[in-house]
Structure formats: C-alpha cells, structure tokens
Amino acid sequence: MPQIDPNAIRQGDRLALSRALTAAENGTPASRDIQAALFPHTGKAHLIGITGAPGTGKSTLVNQLVKSFRKADNLPAPKVAVIAVDPTSPFTGGALLGDRIRMHDLAGDKDVFIRSMASRGALGGLAHSTAAFATILDGAGFDLVLIETVGAGQAEVDIARLAHTVIVVEAPGLGDDIQAIKAGILEIADILVVNKSDQPGAENTARALQAMLELSGSNTGSLFTAGKHRTQAQAPASLSPVNDEPAWKVPVLQVTATDGKGVLELREQIETHRKYLLESGMWQVKENQRLKQDLDSLISDLLIERWRLRQDKVAYHDALKNVIERKWTPYEAAESLL
Amino acid sequence: MTESKIRVLIAKPGLDGHDRGAKVIARALRDAGMEVIYTGLRQTPEMIAEAALQEDVNVVGLSILSGAHNVLVPAVIEKLRANGLHDVTVFVGGIIPEEDALALKAKGVHAVYGPGTNTQVVVEEIRQAVSHQTA
C-alpha cells in the first residue's frame, strides 16, 4: 500500500482522498496517522444527515439538493461531499451500493465527491467508519458533507449523533397518524420532508406530521429538546444547551425530488438551521456531544480489541462450552474471562 | 477490527439499455461477499473513471451490448490511467467477437465474458486478479 500524503488531501488530490477513505474503512494503522494530520483542520464542515425509509427518494433528493447548493446564488458555491450508506448482507458480507445511480447529475463536477459505503454489520443506519469519513472529508476542505443513511425504519438513529442537521424523508402512503407519533426516527428530525408530493395522499401525510409536531407540546421545537437532548441532565455544562436557547421549529416541507419542486425551500431551511445552531450555541454543544460519543465508542472498541489480543483462546472456548451445556450463564462466563 | 473487501464498479458505457447482464453479475459478486457499486445506464468513459476514482475500487466491470466496445473500452482504460488508477482490473461482459476480445485484452482488459459464462468463474478470476494487485 503506497503512502498517502495528508497534505495532498488538503490540496485537493482526489485519489489521495479516496485512498485515505479506504484506509479508514479498513481500519489500517496508516489511517490513524492521516486522521491525526487532518484533525486540526476539522470542525468547519456542515454535516447534513438524510434519512428515511427505503424507497422514499433519499438519493434522488440528495442529487437535487447538491445541484441546488452547487449553483447557489450565494457565491462562492460550497464544495460538497456525499457519503451514501447502503446495507451489507448479513449472510454473505457483500453489498450492492446503488445510490450513485440517482446522482448522475453530479458527475463531472470536480467540487463534488461521492463515496458509497457498505454498512458492514453496523445496525444504526450508518457504517462503523462513517464518522471517520466525515472527519476526513471535513479536513479535506469540503464545506458540506451530506450523509445518506441506510434505508431506515424506526430505530436507526445514529445519524442524529453525527450530523448537525437531520432531514427525515417521508413519502405518502407509508402509514397512518399513529406511525407518526411512535418513538424513533421522526423524533430526530430538524427538517421533515414529504417527498413525492405530486402523488395522492401527500397533503395528508404532511398534515399528519404537522399534527404530530403539535401534539408534542407547544409546536416550538419541544420535540427537539425532549427527544434529542434527553440525556443532558447528567452531562457537564459544556455539553448542555445554553440558557434561553431559542427553540427550533421543525418545518414540514413538501418536495418532489424527481423534478426539483420544493428543493430550493429545503436548501434555504438547511441554511436557516445552520444559522440557528451557530447563533444559539447549539452548534458547539452538538460538536462537543459528538466528540464525546466518538471518544467513548473508541474506548470501548480499543478495550475489546486489546482484551481479545490478550485473551487465552482455550479459556474462551471452555467458557463458551460451559454456556452451551447450560452449566454457566453467559454472565458468569463473561465474568470468568474478564 | 475491520477487514478489507473487494470493491467492484459495474458500469454500462454507451447507449444500449439492456442491463440484465450487468445486474446478474452485480448480484453474483455481491453474493460472493464483494462490495459492488452499480452506476446505472448510459455512462460516459469520463463518468466511469471518475466513479472508480471516488469509490477506490479494485475492479471495473463494463457491460456492453451495443457493439461499440472497440471504442468505449479503450477510452475507459485511458481515463482510468489518467486518473492514476494503474492497478485497477478491468473486465468486459457482453457480445464481443473473438478477435475483438483478443484486441481488447492486448489493450489491458483482464478478461472478456460472453453469454452463458458461469458466474462462479467470474468470481474466482476476479479474486485471483485482485490478489495480485499491489495497492
């Protein structure tokens, strides 16, 4: 494997960037050095998550959204990276990554970089190294990083911890108003999009989502504070929202991604949300939370990895045998090994 | 903690719209544990080489049924090399006359697969080729 130069990545060498992403994905030792070199330059990119059920049109929406950002009237147009995650087969370990098919309009634009990613067994809607990808692309100087999750059902909410702005994409006909008040993916939305709004029932879906937002309290973003920042009671002050935080009101937008209707409004809402985060201090709170999360998950990964290296294989198999023969509970077996 | 996987780009250059063969191969490679990026129809050589660069693939598979392989395949290879992708294995599937297949191989194509090829053969030959790559 040839050496990858972090400076080349900073200067826009796309092959070096691409190789660095592969190194991060495969967890090679070299990738730690690359990330270390890029890390001081990170923290600038706006990370935008796009999630929602399979077939709601996430990739098509990303295609339109990036096009809109790139011809943005507010020049200079931002450099945009897209990370598109698709599922890995739990049976074969293989994956078919098809998000690029919908993003054909972006080909030929040298300031757009699209990378497909297989989830490789991770269950939260992202892959294990998606956060590392975001760091590398941020360090490479991309202004916007759009992260499209696996087609997500109700519980794949990892994107809320990674992205500054989360867009949840719905489509008409996927469920009634009870689906809309269940816990999970709808709670993490900063912006709700009803895609395929040219189809019958779009109006009803938008109304059900709006009603859901109103049910959640005052209709002024209580969802945001009640859902996303539930755990802040025990967090230190630097991880808590600043006082008198002006609440964000989650907008419900109707969009038709196939012809671009409503995409400009979506882009404007994303920019408004970014301003809101910066002015309210929430940007920093989110950054701090994300870095804490990164640190915590890395600690547990490294502890497990180091434990496995030291672990006596015979003892492990004996313990497993005892569990299989119902002599020990799994808990007793784990205690005996640690 | 993690392992590397064989990444393959399956692309259809040119204007024919028959992608069943491409999908069969994509599916077979997926089932063999590879990560397959499918780009869809009507790709230019530039688009394919750019996607191969961004996705950092080990292998590019081109499916062509239009008869334009003698023009399109060398163009793709040239663009791949121009992007610095010297080690990428290129294979071609489709209706390719024998003498054309030989000429394409001379220009850097690893293998040419016609109708009726056993997908296991494709899987094995890709694994072989990738194991010899340096990058």
Q: pLDDT tens-digit profile of A13-39?
A: 999 999 999 999 998 888 999 999 999
Residue of A nearest to B9 (CA): A97
The residue segments making up the domain with residue A330 are: 286-338
Q: How many domains does chain A have?
A: 2
Flag whether A120 is in a domain.
yes
- The residue among A322 and A216 whose pLDDT is bigger is A322
Flag whether A141 is in a domain.
yes
pLDDT-derived band at B23 (thresholds 50, 70, 90) equals: very high
For residue A32, the Cα-to-chain-centroid distance in whole angstroms is 21
B7-128: CATH architecture: 3-Layer(aba) Sandwich (3.40)
Residue of B nearest to A120 (CA): B2
Residues A100 and A206 occupy one common structural domain: yes
Tell me if A149 sits within 8 A of A126, measured CB to CB. yes
Residues A319 and A266 occupy one common structural domain: no
Interface contact A128-B2, CB threshold 8 A:
yes
Q: pLDDT tens-digit profile of A36-85?
A: 999 999 999 999 999 988 888 999 999 999 999 998 676 788 999 999 99
Residues A214 and A192 occupy one common structural domain: yes
Residues A124 and A252 occupy one common structural domain: yes
Flag whether A117 is in a domain.
yes
Give yes or no for A306 touching B (CB within 8 A).
no
Last residue of one domain, picked from the residues A253, A280, A307? A280
A225 pLDDT more than 70? no
Interface contact A101-B51, CB threshold 8 A:
no
pLDDT-derived band at A182 (thresholds 50, 70, 90) equals: low
Residue A121 has what pLDDT? 82
Flag whether A36 is in a domain.
no
Flag whether A227 is in a domain.
yes
What is the CATH number for A122? 3.40.50.300
Residue A172 has what pLDDT? 87
Residue A183 has what pLDDT? 58
Strand order in the sheet with A252-254: A112-118, A80-86, A144-148, A46-52, A165-170, A191-194, A252-254
Instruction: Choose the closest CB to A27 out of B1, B38, B46.
Output: B1
Gap between the Cα atoms of A214 and B8, Å rounded = 47
Interface contact B38-A101, CB threshold 8 A:
yes
Q: pLDDT tens-digit profile of B27-66?
A: 999 999 999 999 988 899 999 999 999 999 999 999 998 8
Taking residue A338's Cβ as centre, other Cβ atoms within 10 Å add up to 7
Last residue of one domain, picked from the residues A280, A299, A321? A280
The overall average pLDDT reported for chain B is 91
B70 pLDDT more than 70? yes
Interface contact B35-A97, CB threshold 8 A:
yes
Q: pLDDT tens-digit profile of A248-285?
A: 999 999 999 999 999 999 999 999 999 999 999 999 99
Gap between the Cα atoms of A160 and A242, Å rounded = 19
Flag whether A26 is in a domain.
no
Residue A224 has what pLDDT? 41
A236 pLDDT more than 60? no
A130-139 and A14-25 are packed helices; what angle lies between their axes, rounded to 10 degrees?
Answer: 160
Flag whether A86 is in a domain.
yes
Residues A203 and A87 occupy one common structural domain: yes
Gap between the Cα atoms of B40 and B24, Å rounded = 13
Tell me if A133 sits within 8 A of A83, measured CB to CB. yes
Residues A258 and A291 occupy one common structural domain: no
Give A1-14 as a DSSP string: -----HHHHHTT-H
Q: pLDDT tens-digit profile of A154-168?
A: 667 889 889 999 999
Percent pLDDT > 90 in chain B is: 79
User: What are the sequence ranges of the domains in chain B?
Assistant: 7-128
Q: Which of B12, B25, B30, B81 to probe by mutation at the A interface, max A CB count within 10 Å? A: B30
Which ranges of A140-224 would DSSP assign to H, the alpha helix? 159-162, 177-181, 202-215, 222-223
A117 pLDDT more than 70? yes
Interface contact A129-B2, CB threshold 8 A:
yes
User: Per the confidence metrics, is the pTM higher than 0.90?
Assistant: no
Measured over all CA atoms, what is the biggest interatomic distance in chain A, rounded to whole angstroms? Answer: 69
Interface contact B47-A108, CB threshold 8 A:
yes
Taking the alpha carbons at both ends of chain B, their separation in whole angstroms is 20
Instruction: Choose the closest CB to B35 out of A94, A100, A107.
Output: A94
Gap between the Cα atoms of B109 and B118, Å rounded = 19
